[in-house]
Amino acid sequence: MKNTIAERVYDFLKNYPPFKMLNKELLTTISENVKILYFETDTKIFKIGEPVDDNFYIVKDGAVGIYSAEKNTLIDKCGEGDIFGLRALIRKDKYKLTALTHEESIIYSISSDLLEEIMRNNTEAKEFILKSFATDNNTPETKDLALDDLFADQKSSFVEVQSVQYSENPITCTIETSIKEAALSMSQHKVGSIIITQNEKPIGIITDKDLRFKIATGKFGIEEKVGKIMSSPVITCNKEISIAEAQLNMLKYNIAHLCITQDGTNDSKLIGILSEHDIVLSYGNNPSVLIKEIKRAKDTSTLKLVRQKAQQLLKAYLEQNVDIVFISNIISHVNEAITQQLILHALDEMNQKPPVDFAWLSLGSMGRNEQFLLTDQDNALVFDDVSEKDYQKTKDYFLAFAQKVNDKLNQVGFEFCPADVMARNPKWCLSVTEWKNQFNHWIVSPTNEKVMLCTIFFDYRMVYGKHDLVKQMTQSIYHSIENFEIFLNFLALNATQNPPPLSFFRNFLVEAGGEHKNQFDIKARAIMPLVDAARLLILSHKVGNCNNTILRYKQLAKLEPQNAELYQSCIVSYKNLLHFRSLQGIRKGDSGRYVDLNSLCKSDKLRLRSSFKPIKDIQELIDVRFRLAHLR
């Protein structure tokens, strides 16, 4: 006999990640074991300080607000298909946030045993869970912290006092309008509410919730007047209302919309409407909200605005001295989500589906999860092997696709790479076999140019596509190095080509001429030597899937306990340099690469100098280990 309830659960879950990534058998098992819970409005599902239950939750119907402890601040709102409570379950600790229903809700509850089953049996689903809720599970600084948990620990007062951005020109109707006409107007304008006005003054409001609970249930007929179901009187405020004040009003009156009027009263002209969703979006320092905005974005201009919010977020974190690893995880996560969304947009614009599997790769700082500021884009594309007769047609497809993605990234704010290291370039849009042959050629015939290309292309990270293609590329690199180990010596020469940033007399080595004469190149002189050293040493240990510089040094400290102190000092130095460059870039509105030393105070100069010693020490270690004296 069929389990009708399980079938309905299955039909719902299959539309949302990570469940839509599962095979039918596993999803059927999950659907048969889901607990279906019903909650009245304003019911706490869990609250801060309670022991974590053995389940995580998915919203089937209704809405659930996620609140932090301070002032019961709303930091997220979960709707249909949204997951919550997952990080707490993985962390196996007390809840750090409170989940409260905003309306009558049906919630699916899934046990930790089923979560383990999902992560054990489906790599794609596992990666989705880890990326969405842990940013970087291997980093001690961020381990056991979700995006929303991280946000809850940050100071948010600088946002709460700001005026909220409300929607101007709200959709309105008169009290004589039929419910059907009002509903059609809401649908046409794609909004969730309509305000009933009289002499341009707000007298009532109808929301999607009213249509669900008063019309869909048959309590009122659709031909009746809006006055039958509208909420009245409305709660009003003026346009200068702060985010905190707006939230307090919504909590006080248990509403999700505020009417903005000229003088803040319901006896003056309506000029806008403020929704709970607008408030959530106003929290630019809430990374999880930015990610949701990205996933909802339908055009490039919207994604550009989100990226600008991410820059504001970066500035706030830097000024609050938030740990650079945390910042790196958040900004990289935002950049990756934007790229993924642009890829999806580009795929939608293509006349046909991709002819074969492919993967989009980020290179350089983004490939290392170390891109903070809006710099130029570095990327590549790999596609599955095809027959010789289908090759050119396949490559032409991916070149056209890559051009779309590169153009969209440029529109968002990531400038075109001056050296054209982008997937639109036929040199960097190759089949997996071509990439393997390319890598092998660079390794066994290492000229200066080829070694330089290795420093760019060996720091790749898959942003979208088939993971197996990238795995094959990585395996080919280590296979080639194993057969031609002297390549590491050439890579070592490259890693030590820039001397430590201080002269014999402890003066900064500045640019001798050109546009940046007498300025200090913090990227080339200080940051890249540490990046290059970490890459070289991790390659020498044949450790794959470890591109981030800080993670590389942490791994090296485990592999070489005798040098752990040096590697730890490299981590501290690298963090300081990244923080310094990012803050300089934010303040000057550029990449932060070139530093005017005359603009620095004495303490900043001392801080920079203190970060340089590990560079000299790590270069000396490389010099001895790879016997570079014989190659110079």
* Structure confidence by residue, pLDDT tens digits, 75-96: 777 888 888 888 777 666 688 8
In a domain, 567, yes or no: yes
Residues 620 and 493 in one domain: yes
Q: Are residues 533 and 621 both part of a single domain? A: yes
pLDDT score recorded for residue 167? 84
Instruction: Give the whole-angstrom CA distance, residue 479 versus residue 569.
Output: 31
Are residues 48 and 65 located together in one domain of the fold? yes
Return the H-helix or E-strand segment holding 467: helix 467-483
Residue ending a domain, among 444, 468, 484, is: 484
Are 222 and 261 in a shared domain?
yes
188 with 262, same domain: the answer is yes
**What's the domain range around 625?**
488-630
**Strand, coil or helix: what is 38?**
strand
Query: Higher confidence at residue 308 or residue 503?
Result: 308
Q: Report pTM.
A: 0.59
Residue 311 forms part of a structural domain: no
- Kindly indicate the confidence band of residue 283, based on its pLDDT and cuts at 50, 70 and 90: low
The model's confidence at residue 313, banded by pLDDT at 50, 70 and 90, is: confident
**CATH number reported for the structural domain that contains residue 456 in this entry:** 3.30.460.10
Handedness of CA 97, 156, 321, 378 (dihedral sign): positive
Kindly state whether residues 476 and 505 are assigned to the same domain.
no
**Are 362 and 445 in the same domain?**
yes
* 131: pLDDT strictly greater than 60: no
Residue 324 lies in a domain: no
List, for residues 199-240, the tens digit of each pLDDT value. 999 999 999 888 988 998 888 999 999 999 999 999 998 887
Same domain, 445 and 496: no
Note the pLDDT of residue 158: 36
Task: Return the SS3 of 539.
Answer: helix
Place of tokens 């393997």: 436
**Alpha carbon 368 to chain centroid, angstroms:** 14
- Residue 312 domain flag: no
């006409």: which residue's tokens? 181
Instruction: Please identify, among 262, 282, 302, the residue that sits at the C-terminal boundary of a domain.
Output: 282
Shared domain check, 493 and 455:
no
Query: Is there a domain that residue 289 lies in?
Result: no
The predicted model gives 443-465 an average pLDDT of 93
Express each pLDDT in 469-496 by its tens digit: 999 999 999 999 999 989 999 999 999 9
The CATH number covering residue 50 comes to 2.60.120.10
SS3 114: helix
* DSSP at 459: S
Split into its structural domains, the chain has a count of: 4
- Same domain assignment for residues 493 and 626: yes
Which CATH number covers residue 178?
A: 3.10.580.10
> Are residues 244 and 269 both part of a single domain?
yes
With cut-offs at 50, 70 and 90, classify the pLDDT of residue 397. very high
pLDDT of residue 240: 77
Residue 345 placed within a domain: no
Looking at the structure, tell me whether residues 493 and 624 fall in a common domain. yes
Q: Does a structural domain hold residue 549?
A: yes
Measured between alpha carbons, how far is 183 from 170 in angstroms, rounded to an integer? 14
Task: Tally the residues of the chain.
Answer: 632
